[in-house]
Structure formats: C-alpha cells, structure tokens
Structure 1
Amino acid sequence: MSFRISGLPASPFTALFALSDTELSAQSAVRQVADSNPGYPCRIGLRDAEVGEEVILLNYEHQPADTPFRSRHAIYVAKNSVPVDLSVGEVPSLMRLRHLSLRGFRADGMMLAADLALDGAVEPVIEALFANPDVAYIHAHWAKQGCYAALIERA
C-alpha cells in the first residue's frame, strides 16, 4: 500500500514569530526555546527542534470537518522550519521515536477505525487502516499527549 506523510505548510505560522509574547498570548500561543531533543516536534518540517531553537506552541484545528470528530489541539512549529517533502512510503524519524495513535477517516471526516503504532512500527498500521477502501486519509497523533502529528494520504 502506497502512502505519503505530510507536514503543515509554513505560511500560516510565519507571522507568529514576529509577534510579541503578549500578542501571542492573545491568540492562545506561547513562544518557547527548545531545551531538549527530542521534545519539540515541529509539524512543518516533521522534525524535532534543535536545542536553542525558537518554537511556538499553539492551538491548531487539524480536523475541520463538520462532524463529531472536528478537532483541534496543541502543536509546535519551529521558527525556521521548511515544509518537508517526504518520498512515498517514507516515515520521518520523529514518528518512529514516539508511540502513535493513527485514526482513519472517510472523505467526509467521519472516523472509521483507529489503532496504535508502537515502537516505530508505523507502516503495518497504515497498511491495515488503508486496507479499508473507505478510509480516505489518516491522522497521526502522539499517543501519550494526543497532539496532532501529521496527515497520511494514499499515494
């Protein structure tokens, strides 16, 4: 089963880094400096921020579908991150370092199935979810914190 994992585009987040901490707070966002790696997973580059790198922690609507599964959660974006361009079937290392919850959705945003990918074994869970032809896309979340990690689509 062919799949492609994608991060978020940088453009919606770039202006956040020019805001003051007070302005960020008004948007329920917080500026931080990464003090460990791993620890601050950037959703643009699908990489962990380097120690000393500026990141913004913000609330992001990753599932805008008008269904009971509409959802938003905290994400990190790193200041100078560039969108990742992964090959078909490529899983970024930050997704192998953490346990994942993978949630399969129909095209209309209704969740059909979900499973855990533990200890870096991501591909078998993706393949099992996509074995259902009604699963249009998968959202990956960090299993412990519940934060949105990445979008997985059929390739």
Structure 2
Amino acid sequence: MPRFTALPTDIVEAYRAGAPDAFGNPPERQISDGAGNPCRHCLRHVPKGAGMLVLAYKPFAGTHPYAEVGPIFLCADTCERGGGTALPEVMGTAPDYLIKGYGADDRIVYGTGSVTATPALHQRIAAIFADPKVAYIHARSARNNCYQARIDRD
C-alpha cells in the first residue's frame, strides 16, 4: 500500500514562526472560509473561522527545472501530522488530482503523470509504482496545480 506523507512538523513549525517561504516572503495569515483550504500538515481542511497560513512551497531541497513552486495552506495553530495508507481527508473532496512519479534524482519520470479521478487514485498510484525508476509520487490539484501530498512506497 502506498503511504501519503504530509509536510514534516519541523518545517511547518518554522513557517508558523515566520520562516520565509520559497520566494523569501513570510507566510500570509488569513482566516479559513471552511472550503478549499487543505492543510498540508494534518491533511484535513482548515476549519471555518480558524487561522491559516498561505505560502509558496517547493517540495524539493534544491533548485532545478523540475522543482515546482506553488501555493499551499497550513493550519496556523498546532495540528497533528497526518498521513498513512488511507486516502487523506483533503484528497477526498476534489473529483480528480494530477499525480506524477519522480526518480531518486527528483526529476519527473516521463509517462507517469496523469489527471486521475479520485476513486481511481490507488489503482493509478500502483501502476506508477510498478515502474522501478519511480522513487515517490506527488499529488497536486488538477485545477490549480497546488501541491497536496507526497506518496511513498510503504
């Protein structure tokens, strides 16, 4: 079974303390309207009326042509890190997702990317992991290209 992996707590705590985002800006503080604000740490939606952070996130250590940057949301207050083999709450609300495999070199493994209907995610993830060149998968919003979660082999 694949494992959905949330952002590490130490990185999230740094953002909560004002660490700069991928573009060197402090995270913006906003109030959630209760819809479409998935926290990338607890992998749940930020509750309506709760504080949240909005920032540019790059899920790669270095800079290279495949190191995509995009907006993400985080709970402004402490939340428990999510993840596991079950589809996270935040990924059960959209009709589909863009998923693509990456090699150990953090480059896209061509031929693995697809917009996949949510009910078919586990099947498509298994097909991507059948390629031995794939080290991990990223799930992104099919509409806004926002990073959702990393998917690892369990």
TM-score range, shorter chain: 0.7 to 0.9
Counterpart position of 1:151: 150
Shift of 1:96: 2.0
Counterpart position of 2:43: 46
Query: Percent identity at matched positions?
Result: 29
TM-score (norm 1): 0.84
TM-score (norm 2): 0.85
Letter in 2 for 1:95: M
User: Does residue 102 of structure 2 align to residue 105 of structure 1?
Assistant: yes
Is the contact between residue 95 and residue 120 of structure 1 (CA under 8 Å) also seen in structure 2?
no
Q: For the residues of structure 1 that align with 2:36 and 2:133, how far apart are their CA atoms?
A: 34
Q: For the residues of structure 2 that align with 1:18 and 1:136, how far apart are their CA atoms?
A: 31
Counterpart position of 1:32: 30
Q: Can you give the 5+ residue segments of structure 2 that lack an aligned partner in the other structure?
A: none
Alignment of 1:9-20 (within 5 A): 9-17=8-16
Task: Give the RMSD, CA atoms, in angstroms.
Answer: 2.1
Counterpart position of 1:140: 139
Question: Which segment is superposed worse, 4-13 or 42-51?
Answer: 4-13
How many residues are matched?
A: 147
Q: What secondary structure does 1:41 align onto?
A: coil
